[in-house]
C-alpha cells in the first residue's frame, strides 16, 4: 500500500514519482473502491463511447495525475508530508464533469429518486467538495484532490477540445 500511495515525503526523499499515477489504483476499503468504480462505470462508459477509448484513457490519466500533482503541492506547502493519498476520485470528478459537458440534458437520479440535470449534479457535488474543503468536514476525504480533478477536467476541455464547459453546461 505504501509504495503505491502518493506520500509527499516519499516523492521528495525517495523520488517515488510513479505514485502520481499509482495512487489512483489504491483504495482504503471495499466501500471506497465500490463507489469509485460504480461512478466510473455509470459515467465513464458513456464518456468513453463519445470520446473513444484512447482519448478517454488520456483524459482519465492526465486529469487524475494532475490532481495528484496538485494535491502533492498542497500537502507539501502545508507541511503534510506523511499523508497518504489514495483513490480514483480526482479522475472520477473529471469524468463526471465530462459526462455533464457531453450530456448536459441528461437526468441523473440521486438515490434513485431525486431527478437532477447532469450539470446541476456535478456542480452541486463540486460545491459540496468546496464547502467540505473549507470547513474541514468529512475527515479523511481528499476534497482538494476532487476539486483539482474537476478543475483539470475543465482545463482539458478548454485546451484539448476548445470547448468552454460553462457554455455547454448551461446552454438553453
Banded pLDDT at 142 (limits 50, 70, 90): confident
Classify residue 131: in a domain, yes or no: yes
How far is CA 13 from its chain centroid? Answer: 26
Classify residue 153: in a domain, yes or no: yes
Classify residue 141: in a domain, yes or no: yes
Classify residue 109: in a domain, yes or no: yes
Q: What is the pLDDT of residue 172?
A: 54
State the pTM of this model: 0.91
What is the residue range of 105's domain?
A: 8-169
Mean pLDDT for the stretch of residues 119-143? 81
Banded pLDDT at 15 (limits 50, 70, 90): very high
Q: How many domains does the chain have?
A: 1
Classify residue 93: in a domain, yes or no: yes
Classify residue 1: in a domain, yes or no: no
Set of cell numbers at residue 78: 502545508
Q: What is the pLDDT of residue 9?
A: 94
Classify residue 56: in a domain, yes or no: yes
Give the pLDDT confidence of 39-67 residue by residue, as tens digits: 999 999 999 999 999 999 999 999 999 99
> CB neighbours of 105 closer than 8 A, spacing ≥ 6?
117, 118
Classify residue 79: in a domain, yes or no: yes
Banded pLDDT at 137 (limits 50, 70, 90): low
Helix segments in 18-140, DSSP class H: 19-22, 30-39, 45-51, 53-77, 89-102, 118-135
Amino acid at each position: 500500500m505504501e509504495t503505491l500511495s502518493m506520500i509527499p515525503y516519499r516523492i521528495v526523499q525517495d523520488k517515488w514519482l510513479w505514485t502520481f499515477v499509482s495512487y489512483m489504483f489504491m483504495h482504503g476499503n471495499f466501500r471506497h473502491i465500490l463507489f469509485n468504480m460504480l461512478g466510473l462505470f455509470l459515467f465513464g462508459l458513456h464518456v468513453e463511447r463519445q470520446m473513444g477509448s484512447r482519448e478517454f484513457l488520456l483524459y482519465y490519466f492526465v486529469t487524475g495525475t494532475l490532481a495528484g500533482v496538485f494535491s502533492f503541492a498542497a500537502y507539501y506547502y502545508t507541511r503534510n508530508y506523511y499523508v497518504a493519498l489514495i483513490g480514483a476520485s480526482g479522475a472520477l470528478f473529471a469524468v463526471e464533469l465530462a459526462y455533464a459537458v457531453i450530456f448536459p440534458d441528461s437526468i441523473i437520479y440521486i438515490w434513485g429518486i431525486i431527478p437532477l440535470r447532469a450539470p446541476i449534479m456535478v456542480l452541486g457535488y463540486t460545491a459540496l467538495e468546496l464547502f467540505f474543503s473549507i470547513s474541514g468536514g468529512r475527515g479523511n476525504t481528499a476534497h482538494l484532490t476532487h476539486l483539482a480533478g474537476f478543475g483539470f477536467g475543465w482545463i482539458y476541455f478548454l485546451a484539448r477540445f476548445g470547448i468552454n464547459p460553462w457554455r455547454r453546461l448551461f446552454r438553453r
